[in-house]
Amino acid sequence: MSMIAHARWIGAAAALGFGIQASFIAAGAPDAPPAGVQMLMPRGGIPAVFEPRFVPADKAGLPDSAWILGVALGGEARAYSLNLLNGHEVVNDSVGGRAIAAVW
């Protein structure tokens, strides 16, 4: 049985926009947040995952109760461990021929 069948689906996210980083640049201050926003970590302080590697569900070593972020597009599916995403927050990937960002 697959990880997707064993795990609790909690949602899926595909980020196609530019996010808050782009608003800093558009405002002409690439290193400063907008007025009223407190920056707790420097930009780039949490490294994203750019080339994720996947293993079969029976080799992943995750308990059946593990929380995952699931994505299914174009006949392909991915499962991202929330424990991994807690330390990285973003996984840049491609699913079903579409570029996505799995975000937690």
Q: What is the pLDDT of residues 82-104, one digit of tens each?
A: 988 888 889 999 999 999 999 88
The torsion angles phi and psi of 4, rounded to 5 degrees, stand at -65, -40
Phi then psi dihedrals of residue 102, to 5 deg: -80, 120
Secondary element (H or E) of residue 69: strand 67-73
Regions in the chain scoring below 50 on pLDDT: 1-27
pLDDT at 28: 53
Residue appearing with tokens 């002409």: 28
The span from the CA of 101 to the CA of 104, in Å, is 10
| Contact status, residue 7 vs residue 67, Cβ threshold 8 Å | yes
Structure tokens at 25: 């640049």
pLDDT at 92: 93
